[in-house]
Structure 1
């Protein structure tokens, strides 16, 4: 009787979830293989954040709300260049959450062998493609990180992880696309009062340089926490 109940529970579970192969043990349910048919796939995209970034325009306009990123980009490029040196010219680079391509273009100009940018915002990708000079070897992809099948020598993800729906899944996807011995450059925002005042209160509600709701203090990540999560992900 108990085994028949377990089998019935398994049948209902398979119908609802799409799990193809399972093993029933008396007194419990053990799932061995989790191949999913027709169920919602895992994603790192936060719908609210995605909508906010899809409304951003004029990334490259000098007087736009995104002009502050020019200063950030200079610091990012300098940091990456100083760490990689001449090796950068032999590296394939993936820029995750590339936006309109500010960092991707800079790394391509420094001589990176191959630069790929991926972003879930079609608006941003269209601006990146439109602005990219024909002499730069950059490939832009609209979609999420899981849509990228190649692996890379260098991966950059600047101010991205505080916008994803699952840091665990995101870091796992990053690890899968980083070549052995590759380098990951990631920046984010510390969950401090200063960060709240500058990136949320000032940027969103006082100056209005980014849409309200773009940042959430609860998603900001402390450096120590992120380092631990890197280790857990095997990075």
Structure 2
């Protein structure tokens, strides 16, 4: 790994410390397990995964990558720069006997240089707000997907409501996430992410919000993109 890798060592260390808890449904990763079926169904409704080659960028312990393989993707690759998280992902795949899945410790940019236009669908969820240069990751995702293929992003909006809900509420009041999980300055407005997509020649096709109800403790997809949001983009033919 060289010094130019688009990763924050502090962020990698933070998630490495928690790696062994990725598949503990009652751990700090419980929110990811709760939103994963929503994300997966949303992706599959736009781009049916059956028989496709999929890539999950910033896969962590493999929650989304594993579910895409189980939904019928012909081949799934999960990539991350956290060695510990990848070992957990690989161990889970072995234990659960997940079909058609592999993991690699490689950056999106390096893989894009090695294997451009190799995937039918690329996902990059809850990852852009943790890297120094999110535009570089978006470009790499665009380079990795085949013409006509789909790239899906999810991240956190940057505004007062998002600060209140995602940081103050989720990290400090409800203790849903470890304190320090998100930095306000690294959050990305939908207009900014759409701009990165346009620069990378990805067409934004659909946007969705993701809301949490603290009373019912349930997540749901909505039109409200003020806190968490998802973007579906397509590479022109």
TM-score (norm 1): 0.77
Structure of higher CA gyration radius: 1
Q: Where do 5+ consecutive residues of structure 2 fail to align?
A: 203-237
Quick check: 2:28–2:178 contact (8 Å CA) kept in 1? no
Number of the residue aligned with 1:78: 41
Counterpart for residue 141 of structure 1: 104
SS in 1 for 2:38: helix
State whether residues 56 and 65 of structure 2, in contact with CA within 8 Å, keep that contact through their aligned partners in structure 1. yes
Asked if 2 retains the 8 angstrom alpha-carbon contact of 1:49 and 1:213, the reply is no
Q: Shift of the alpha carbon at 1:41?
A: 5.0
Partners in 1 of 2:52 and 2:122 — Cα distance?
10
| Selected match of 2:135 from 165, 168, 177 | 168
Greater length-normalized contact order (CA 8 Å, ≥ 6 residues apart) = 2
Structure 1 unaligned residues grouped into runs of 5+: 1-39
Correspondent of 1:126 among 81, 87, 99: 87
Give 1:201's match in structure 2, choosing from 159, 168, 190.
168
SS in 2 for 1:63: coil
Structure 2 counterpart of 1:47:
9
Which deviates further from its counterpart, 146-155 or 185-194? Answer: 146-155
Q: Name the residue aligned to 1:67.
A: 30
- Structure 1: how far apart are the matches of 2:193 and 2:100? 32
**Does the 8 Å CA contact 1:52/1:211 hold for their aligned counterparts?**
no
RMSD: 1.7
Relative to its length, the structure with more strand (as a share) is 2
Q: Report how far residue 65 of structure 1 moved.
A: 1.5
Aligned residues: 194
Counterparts of 1:44 and 1:210 in 2: how far apart (Å)? 24
Aligned to 2:119: 152
**More helix by proportion, 1 or 2?**
1
- On the 8 A contact 1:129/1:140 being kept in 2, the answer is yes
Q: What's the TM-score, normalizing by structure 2?
A: 0.76
